Amino acid sequence: MIPSLKEWDQKYSDQGLVIIGNHYPEFSYEEDLANLQAAVAEHGIEYAVAQDNDGATWRAYKNRYWPTLYLIDKNGHLRYVHIGEGKYDETEAAIKSLLAETY
């Protein structure tokens, strides 16, 4: 998943795509900000990653599975959800479609 997110960030950020990773730790050592920062650097992630130690964002979206992708349009409406790996071409097509919409 991360390679695709990095690619989309590079390809579409200048067109308005904003990627925000949401890190909801599974283990206690993952709650440490320094560990998260090290992992982000290790993977070469340049998009924003929020630390969601209490799972507030996770619960707000009623998320139950990892990974899950959410595409939100320019007006703040949830327009696309994909659970799990795969469907990268479909997801990229949805990104392109949403970016092409007028604001």
52-65 in b/e form (b: 16+ CB < 10 A) is beeeeebeeeebee
| Distances in whole angstroms, Cα of residue 34 to Cα of each of 41, 48, 79 | 11, 15, 33
The Cβ-side half-sphere exposure at 9, using a 13 Å CA radius, reads 16
pTM of the complete model: 0.91
CATH classification at residue 41: 3.40.30.10
- Tell me the per-residue pLDDT of 2-46, one tens digit each, with 9 for 90 and over: 999 999 999 999 999 999 999 999 999 999 999 999 999 999 999
Task: Give the residue numbers spanning the domain of 8.
Answer: 2-100
Overall domain count for the chain = 1
